[in-house]
């Protein structure tokens, strides 16, 4: 085929371009470049949108994981500390049992009629301590320890040459923890320098 021969397709294009001024006929390359530039801009915008959507998905996943972890912690805390109110209430029963045992004079402990009664109170107290232990309720150490305001409540100051100031020398009421939380502070007397 010679250069000046036209294919049927070229003839169809020429036919469509009839009546179109010459200045507009040569712009087909510019139009192609403009369309190509427009497509590249659109593709870049879509890539930016895709990247933004990926970030949003990552943030949503992270937030979902954080919510799940918080919920798991709340459920675990509910399990661990569900008995807190009941435990606080039952501590007064434990205190009264301890007072009852401590208030029995030695002379009465030898009385055959009272031995069984006292042994029963002591057994009840031991059983209560065992149940406390099973539920993570532990007694706070106090006498001889330095005052810890997170666990002890100082009720009085006692002048003492034998102990460092700030050392607990008397426990008025036992304190308790439930797992790692304070259930009730120990009420204590703290040593101070004599006047």
Report the distance separating Cα 15 and Cα 3, nearest Å: 18
pLDDT value at 136 more than 70: yes
Report the distance separating Cα 53 and Cα 94, nearest Å: 60
CATH no. for 136-195: 2.30.22.10
The CA angle 131-151-146, to the nearest 5 degrees, is: 120
Average pLDDT over residues 160-174: 92
Average pLDDT over residues 164-169: 93
pLDDT value at 57 more than 60: yes
Average pLDDT over residues 51-59: 95
Q: In this structure, what DSSP letter does residue 140 have?
A: P
More confident: 29 or 11: 11
Q: What share of the chain has pLDDT > 70, as a percent?
A: 84
More confident: 120 or 3: 120
The CA angle 34-39-10, to the nearest 5 degrees, is: 55
User: For residue 1, what pLDDT is reported?
Assistant: 46
Identify which of 141, 144, 146, 131 has the alpha carbon closest to the alpha carbon of residue 185: 141
Average pLDDT over residues 6-15: 66
Tell me the angle at which helices 84-103 and 112-134 cross, rounded to the nearest 10 degrees: 160
Average pLDDT over residues 39-66: 93
Q: Which of 101-105, 110-114, 171-175 has the lowest mean pLDDT?
A: 110-114
pTM of the model: 0.62
Q: Where are the domains of the chain?
A: 21-82, 83-135, 136-195
Average pLDDT over residues 18-45: 71
User: For residue 30, what pLDDT is reported?
Assistant: 62
User: For residue 145, what pLDDT is reported?
Assistant: 94
């Amino acid at each position: 085929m010679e250069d000046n021969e036209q294919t049927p397709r070229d003839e169809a294009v020429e036919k469509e371009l009839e009546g179109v001024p010459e200045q507009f006929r040569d712009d087909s390359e510019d139009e192609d470049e403009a369309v190509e530039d427009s497509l590249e801009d659109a593709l870049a915008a879509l890539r930016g949108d895709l990247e933004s959507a990926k970030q949003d998905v990552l943030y949503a996943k992270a937030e979902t994981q954080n919510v799940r972890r918080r919920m798991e912690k709340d459920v675990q805390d509910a399990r661990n500390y569900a008995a807190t109110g009941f435990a606080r209430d039952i501590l007064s029963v434990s205190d009264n049992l301890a007072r009852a045992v401590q208030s029995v004079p030695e002379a009465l402990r030898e009385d055959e009629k009272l031995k069984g009664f006292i042994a029963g109170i002591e057994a009840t107290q031991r059983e209560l301590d065992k149940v406390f232990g099973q539920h993570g309720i532990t007694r706070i150490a106090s006498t001889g320890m330095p005052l810890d305001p997170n666990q002890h409540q100082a009720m009085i100051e006692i002048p003492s040459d034998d102990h460092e100031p700030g050392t607990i020398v008397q426990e008025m009421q036992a304190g308790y923890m439930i797992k790692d939380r304070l259930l009730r502070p120990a009420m204590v007397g703290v040593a101070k320098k004599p006047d």
